[in-house]
Amino acid sequence: MKINACGWLSGVRRVPSPNFDARPPNQKTNLLIIHSISLPPEQFSGGGVERLFTNTLNCDEHPYYERLRGVKVSAHFFIRRNGEITQFVSCNQRAWHAGVSEWWGKTRCNDFSLGIELEGSDSVSYTDAQYKKLQYLTRRLQRNYPLKQIVGHADIAPGRKTDPGPFFDWKRYLNSL
């Protein structure tokens, strides 16, 4: 698997999201942000995340979805519990994953970051398959982009976000790189 000049990783499922735009001119992509998501919360293997990222989520389908009505978000990648990787946005584009954010005094982290969503929550451990694919994907990204830092969503939006949560094993992940 390689990342082509257009920013797409070969060998993974591709589901283009409309929720992206151009990065600022001459902006280096040097931050990797790890997130977690499950829709509905604590439920895995459904299609809610994909529908959210492609603006096709039926907000009447589940009571939780009402709070997502009109929300337009995306990530570059999504890793399911079984390790399947889906890419939603080219790495060359700005995905809408970080929201209001700041890292080392720089705001608007979407401008200079890549976002990976793990299917999970703050109350469950991640799977071996997810760690294996996250490690693999991170190494591919590091070969193509000057990623100087790897952080969690909670690190760039403290008090607003908690993911990837207390069950994400940072030591295991970072030592694997």
Burial of 139 (0-12, 13-18, 19+ CB in 10 A): exposed
pLDDT in tens, 125-139: 999 999 999 999 999
Contact 131, 93 (CB under 8 A): no
Could you give all domains of the chain from N- to C-terminal order, each with its CATH number? 13-175 (3.40.80.10)
Q: How many CA atoms lie within 13 A of 138 on its CB side?
A: 23
Confidence at residue 57, expressed as pLDDT on a 0 to 100 scale: 98
pLDDT in tens, 81-128: 999 999 999 999 999 999 999 999 999 999 999 999 999 999 999 999
Q: Among all residues, which ones are annotated catalytic?
A: 117
